[in-house]
Chain A
Amino acid sequence: MSEIDLTLLANKQTALPSLHRQFLEPRAMKSGFLTALTWTIAALGSIPLFSVIYMLIIQGGARLDFEALTALPPAGFEDGGGFGNALVGTLVMVGIGGVISIPVGILAAVYLAVLGPHSKLAKTARFVAKTLTGFPSILAGVFTYAILVITFGYSALAGGVSLAVLMLPTVVLAAEEAMRQVPQKMTDAAYGMGCTRTQVILKVVLPTALPGILTGVMLAVAGAAGESAPLLFTALFSNYYISELMEPTASLSILIYNFSAMPFDNQIELAWAASLVLVLIVLVFNILARLLGRPKY
C-alpha cells in the first residue's frame, strides 16, 4: 500500500526526498571521511605501543640471559655484566612501599566506605586521595628527601617510603570502591545476627571485597615498580647488592635512566634488557589485577 503511494507520489514529481542511502551526498561523504580519519587516528595511536614492545623484544630480548639477571652492572668499557642488584633493589623497595601503604590504605578505605562514608573527614580524605593520585611522582621524592634523606642519607628505606606515598591513594580509592560494591543485604544480615561493626567488616565486607581490593593493590604495585622519579634522590643508586636498608640502593628504573645516557653500547643493550624485565614485572601485576578484578556478583 505505502509503496504504491510512494511511486504515485514520485510519478507526480512531488518533492519527496529519496529514502535510499546516497553515498555521494555531501553529508554522507563527510561522515565517511571522518570515519576513515578516526580509523587512521586509532591505528596511529596504537603504533607507539607496538613500537615499544617490538624494540623491547628485539633489543632487550637479545641481551636477556642469566648473566644479565644476576651479575652486577659493568663499569665503563667492560663487557658483560647485568642488573641483578637493581632487580633485587626494585623488589625490596616496592616491598617496603607495599608493607607501609597497603595496611594503612585498606584501613583508611574501611573508614571511608563503611564506618563514616558521609562524615566530613571522609569527604576530605576522599578529595585528598584524588588530588594525591594526580600528584607529580617526583614530589613524593622531594617530600621523602626532606623528611628522611637530609637526616639519614640515601637509603632503600627512603626509596620505599616515597613509593608508599605514591601507592597509598591508589590503594585507598580502589579498596573503597570495592567495599562499596558489597551488597547492603549482606552487611544488614550480619548486623541482624548481632555482629559488632568490626566483625561485619572483618568477616563480611573485607572477604567479599577482597578481589577488588587486590586489584587496587596490584595496580599500585605495578605503578610503583615502574616509578623512577621518586627514587632518583631517595634511594640513589649503587653498584652492589643491597646488604642493609639504610644504604643507597639500585633500582631497575634508575639503572635504565643512568645507562640510557652512556656512550657505551654494552650499557645501552643492558638498559633495553632491564626495560624488558621492568615492563614484564609491571605487566604481570597488571594482568593479575585484571584476573582478580573480575566481579563475582
Chain B
Amino acid sequence: MASNHFQNNASASTLSGPPSTGDYITDSVFRAVALTCASLLILLLAYILWEIGGKALPAFKEQGLGFITGTTWNVNEGQFGVLPEIWGTLYSSLLALIIGGIFGVTIAIFLTQDFLGNRFAAVFRTIVELLAAIPSVVFGLWGIYVLIPLLRPAADWLHEHLGFIPLFGTELSGPGLAPAALVLAIMILPTVAAISVDAFRRIPYKVKEAAFGMGTTRWEAILKVMLPTASSGLLAALVLGFGRALGETMALAMLIGNNNQISLSLFAPADTLASLLASNFPEAGAVEVQALMYAAMVLLVITFVVNVIGLAVQQYTMRKFEGKK
C-alpha cells in the first residue's frame, strides 16, 4: 500500500524531481538580470561622470583652470568664474558643520550615555529622525519667514556694536550666510547624530563600566574614555555631515541671497555651487549650460572626495571594533 503511494507520486512527478529545463532557463535568466542590475549601478555612476564631464568639456577647454579662480559670472561677455561659489559652499558648510557638529555629537551623547530612560530616548530619537524627513524647500520657507526675521535684530545689534570684526561687517538685509548656515546646520544634525550614535553604540559596555569602576564621574567617563574611543566614528559622522552640507541645494538657494561675492561677513549674501546651478540652469543658454556643467563637475569632485574620505573613516572604525574585513 505504502509503496504504491510513493510510486503514484513519482509517476505524477509533481512533488519532487530534478529541476526541469524550464527551471534551468528561468534560473540563468534571472541571475543574468540580477547581475545586469548590479552592473547598472556602477554604469550609472560612470555614465553620470561621462555625461556631465562630456558636457563640461567645451567650457573646460575654453576657460581652463581660470574657471576655478575667476570671480565674475557674466553670461553676455562669456566670463565665468566660480571662486565666490566655491568659497560660499565651503564657508557655509564649515559654519554648518561647527554648529551641527556640536549639536549632533552632543545629542548622540545625550541619547547613548544614559541621560534618558529607554522609552524617552526612543521618543527623542524619533524627533531627530523626523527632522531629517522634512524636505529642504520647507526648511527654506521656514528660514525665510521665521528664521530671518528672528535673526535680524540680533544681527543688526552685532553689526552696530561689533562691526569692526569682519564676521559682523555687514547688515543682514534679508537673505544671507547666517540664516543659510543655520538651516544647513539643522539639516545635517540628524546625519551627524545618527552616525555618532552608531559610533557610541559600538563601544563595548564594559569600557564604560571600567571607567565608572575607577570612580569617574559621568562626564569624566564621557570626556576621557567614551569620546576618545568613539573618535574615529565621530570623525566619520562629521565628514559625512560636511559632505551632505556641501551638496544641499534648495534651502540654500532660498536663503543665501545668490550674490556673487567673497565676504567674511556672516550677514552678507553669498552663493554656493549648488544654488548657482539651481538658480541659473532653468534659463541658461547653450554657452552658460556648458559653464554650469563645469561648475557641476567641480561640485561633484568636491563632494565625491569628501564622501569617500568619510566612508573610508567609517569603514576603518568598523574594522577597529569588530575585526571585520
Contact B303 A279 (CB under 8 A): no
A145 to B35, CA, bound (A): 28
Once the chains bind, are B37 and A256 in contact (CB under 8 Å)?
no
Q: State whether A146 touches B293 (Cβ < 8 A).
A: yes
Which of chain B's residues have a CB closer than 8 A to the CB of A138? 247, 249, 274, 277-278, 296, 299
B130/A49 in contact, CB under 8 A: yes
Stretch at the interface among B63-71, B141-149, B151-159, B165-173: B141-149
A134 touches B142 (CB 8 A): no
* Minimum CB distance partner of A233 in chain B: B281
Tell me if B231 is interfacial: C-beta within 8 Å of chain A.
Answer: no
A268 to B253, alpha carbons, bound, how many Å?
Answer: 17
Bound form: Cα–Cα A145–B292 in Å? 11
Contact A108/B41 with A136-B249, A282-B134 known, Cβ cut-off 8 Å? yes
A128 at the interface (CB under 8 A from B): yes
A38-B110, A42-B107, A227-B135 as given contacts; A125 in contact with B42, CB under 8 Å: yes
A42 contacts which of B45, B124, B303 (Cβ < 8 Å)? B124
Whether A41 touches B103, Cβ cut-off 8 Å, given contacts A115-B31, A142-B293, is yes
B205 in contact (CB, < 8 A)? no
B174, chain A: closest CB distance, angstroms: 11
CB proximity of A243 to chain B, nearest CB, Å: 22
Tell me the bound Cα distance from A201 to B138 in angstroms. 41
Is A111's CB under 8 angstroms from B38's CB?
yes
Residues on the A chain within 8 Å of B139, using CB: 52
Instruction: For chain A, residues 247 to 277, give those with C-beta under 8 angstroms from any C-beta of chain B.
Output: 253, 256-257, 260-261, 268, 271-272, 275
- Per-position 1/0 for A198-231, Cβ under 8 A of B: 1101100000000000000000001001111100
Provide the B113-149 mask, 1 if CB < 8 A to any CB of A, else 0: 0010000000010011111011111111110111000
Separation of A28 and B220 alpha carbons in the complex (Å): 10
Q: For the complex formed, measure the closest distance between the CB of A116 and the CB atoms of chain B, giving whole angstroms.
A: 8
Contact B136 A228 (CB under 8 A): yes
Nearest B-chain residue to A49, judged by Cβ = B131
Binds A, one of B6-14, B206-214, B260-268, B304-312: B304-312
Closest chain A CB from B55 CB (angstroms): 5
Given A136-B274, A136-B299, A275–B138 Cβ distance below 8 Å?
yes
User: Residues of B contacting A124 with CB < 8 Å?
Assistant: 42
Q: A131-B45, A228-B136 are in contact. Are A198 and B278 (CB under 8 A)?
A: no
Residues of A within 8 A of B320 (CB): none
Cα(A233)–Cα(B250), bound, Å:
13
A135-146: CB near B (< 8 Å → 1, else 0) gives 111110111011
State whether the Cβ of B321 lies closer than 8 Å to any Cβ in chain A: no
Chain A residues lying within 8 Å of B222, measured Cβ to Cβ, are: 34
**Contact between chains at A226 and B103 (CB < 8 Å):** no
Q: How many residues of B contact A (CB 8 A)?
A: 87
Which residues from A are CB-within-8-Å of B186? 48
Give the chain B neighbours of A108 by CB distance below 8 A: 34, 37-38, 40-41
CA distance A56 to B135 in the complex (A): 12
Given contacts A49-B131, A283-B133, contact A198 B277 (CB under 8 A): no
* Alpha-carbon gap, A49 to B190, bound state (A): 11
In B15-70, the 8 Å CB interface with A consists of: 16, 18-19, 23-24, 26-27, 30-31, 33-42, 44-45, 47-48, 51-52, 54-55
Complex-state Cα separation, A147 to B53, whole angstroms: 12
Chain B residues with CB below 8 A from A56, complex form = 138
Residues of A within 8 A of B26 (CB): 196, 198
A253–B37 CB distance below 8 A: no
The reply to whether B281 and A232 contact each other, CB–CB distance below 8 Å, is yes
Please, how many angstroms separate the alpha-carbon atoms of A139 and B299 in the complex? 9
Q: Which residue of B lies closest to A104 (CB)?
A: B37
Q: How far is the CA of A195 from the CA of B255 in the complex (A)?
A: 58
B52 and A142 within 8 A (CB) = yes
Chain A residue contacts of B293, Cβ below 8 A:
142, 146
The CA of A143 and the CA of B249, in the complex, are separated in Å by: 15
When distances are taken between beta carbons in the complex, the residues of chain B under 8 Å from A28 are 217
Q: Which residue of A lies closest to B100 (CB)?
A: A45
Contact in complex: A282, B135 (CB < 8 Å):
yes
B243 interfacial contact with A, CB 8 Å: yes
Are A228 and B250 also in contact (CB < 8 A) when A42-B106, A108-B37, A134-B240 are? yes
Docked-complex contact A45 and B189, CB < 8 angstroms: yes
Contact A121 B42 (CB under 8 A): yes
Chain A residue contacts of B307, Cβ below 8 A: 131, 134-135
B41's partner among A128, A198, A278 (CB-CB below 8 A) is: A128
Q: Report if A31 contacts B (CB, 8 A).
A: yes
- B85 on the A face (CB < 8 A): no
Can you name 23 A-B residue pairings with CB atoms under 8 Å? Answer: A28-B217, A30-B217, A31-B217, A37-B106, A41-B103, A41-B110, A42-B110, A45-B128, A51-B142, A52-B142, A108-B40, A111-B35, A111-B38, A122-B38, A129-B41, A132-B45, A136-B246, A194-B19, A222-B133, A226-B133, A260-B141, A268-B145, A282-B135
Beyond contacts A49-B127, A55-B146, A256-B140: 15 other A-B pairs, Cβ-Cβ < 8 A, are A46-B127, A46-B128, A48-B186, A128-B45, A130-B311, A135-B300, A136-B248, A136-B300, A139-B299, A146-B55, A198-B31, A225-B135, A229-B250, A257-B253, A282-B135
Q: What are the nearest 5 A-B pairs in CB distance?
A: A136-B247, A226-B135, A107-B37, A229-B249, A111-B38
